Structure 1
């Protein structure tokens, strides 16, 4: 018999925050009258994460052999329970409140046409995290009241699992960033929307969680953005982006050389080569 709620947490070398995340999830589950399980997908951490998970009961642990990126890891967690009613996706650097999951479920039951509900992200001191970005067809702007929206980030979002059967999983090209934007745009183009309630919040340790993996994710930025524009908006938009990207790369290269920032220069060269490879192999990379 399947479970009602599949909670998926993707982690990578973030043991201390992961512990807080799981503890908050377990407290929030206590207020939910549904069967549930917690699945941690580990992108080959080497900081003692595996020992931590072994010390916590009732957590399903999937350890990848290497860091395969966020989208692939999310898909592994989702596919582990595709027959569940709901799927809650969480970053390892978030903390839920005791009422969070129950409120999310109540919202999806009340607004039955919506297929997901992202939480509002706040800093540990309670200050809201600002998120304002508009791409043609998708807006990340924060709403001040209950609203139907067309963007759902994967930092902390409860989905009806049926959405993945309707429009597919996350595009696995995205190592980090844009996987949620791409998915949200695909949902919108299929007539699917989400609901947002600004009173449903989670704490997001934004800078702490991201700083640890900065060297691994930065080389993907240019390639990720190019791929997103080329896939979703065609050659013209992708071409405009490339002009800006190569201008930015050239300017950054001069600055890094002038300031003898060898680490940043090496990272920039890796990013440039990945971008060139993505341009060359785009047709073979795009799948959804």
Structure 2
């Protein structure tokens, strides 16, 4: 049962783009959550919404079709002016989580004062999905993307994601993955103005992380709270996605400095 005392404390955005049935489990996770929230679903691939509207035509779930693909960051930014919540969740449509996850994250945000909270991310088989925890550098991105062999490249990958360090305690990190994060609404939406709209796809989370830290905020990694991410690395398989990834990488380093 949802705790209605948390009403107006939490909101969330899920951005769809040809997501198909994969988004059903994600949105069901929010519907089944034991805290009340307003969920905003932004569809960047407009078309027949019957699959969505027939299933979740209920209070608290708001559907926003967009006439064209405006990009991930811009789609999230559309919702920020509407928010009255204390905390806001940014979530990919291929992420699922247990009913108590959002409540536990709210408790940690209340306790710590963190600007962004990022959980442990698991693969569907229960193994850990080692995502970046440190800021991107050219070497780290090359090591992660091209999967070179050799001890030096493996060390770069491990350093980037903290793989092998067996992190089991909360710790401040330099990067929050965009697949799932809880943010302090007034900081992200009002003070920082949301995502930088110049990033169409990829690295908008890297840029947001840098801006949070540059403005005196903090990013807290909480390995005791887990979500499951059915990761689809689109940029590794299609030319348009690869091109977007390259453009965003260049934009990121032009903005923040080229660091080898």
- With the length of structure 1 as denominator, give the TM-score of the two structures: 0.72
The question of whether the paired residues in 2 share the 8 Å contact of 1:140 and 1:151 is answered with: no
Q: Which residue of the other structure, out of 63, 79, 82, is the alignment partner of 2:81?
A: 79
Q: In proportion to residue count, which structure has more helix?
A: 1
1:130 CA drift (Å): 1.3
Offset from partner CA, 1:237-283 (integer Å, 9 cap, x none): 28x8xxxxxxxxxxxxxxxxxxxxxxxxxxxxxxxxxxxxxxxxxxx
Q: What residue in structure 1 maps to residue 144 of structure 2? A: none
Q: What residue in structure 1 maps to residue 170 of structure 2? A: 146
Offset from partner CA, 1:62-95 (integer Å, 9 cap, x none): 11111111111111122331x2111111000101
- How far apart are the structure 2 equivalents of 1:170 and 1:96? 24
What count of residue pairs does the alignment treat as equivalent? 225
The answer to whether structure 1 residue 52 and structure 2 residue 72 are counterparts is no
Alignment of 1:8-19 (within 5 A): 8-19=13-24
- How far apart are the structure 1 equivalents of 2:236 and 2:28? 21
RMSD: 2.4
Q: What residue in structure 2 maps to residue 196 of structure 1? A: 221
Secondary structure of the equivalent of 1:223? helix
Bigger RCO (CA 8 Å, 6+ sep): 2
The question of whether the paired residues in 1 share the 8 Å contact of 2:172 and 2:221 is answered with: yes
Q: What residue in structure 2 maps to residue 69 of structure 1? A: 71
The question of whether the paired residues in 2 share the 8 Å contact of 1:95 and 1:204 is answered with: yes
Secondary structure of the equivalent of 1:127? coil
Bigger Cα Rg: 1
- How far apart are the structure 2 equivalents of 1:104 and 1:140? 24
- With the length of structure 2 as denominator, give the TM-score of the two structures: 0.79
Give 5+ residue unaligned stretches, structure 2. 1-6, 141-158
Summarize the Cα distance change of 1:145–1:117 in structure 2 as closer, same or farther, 3 Å threshold: same
The question of whether the paired residues in 1 share the 8 Å contact of 2:46 and 2:67 is answered with: no
Secondary structure of the equivalent of 1:206? coil
Q: Which residue of the other structure, out of 210, 230, 244, is the alignment partner of 2:254?
A: 230
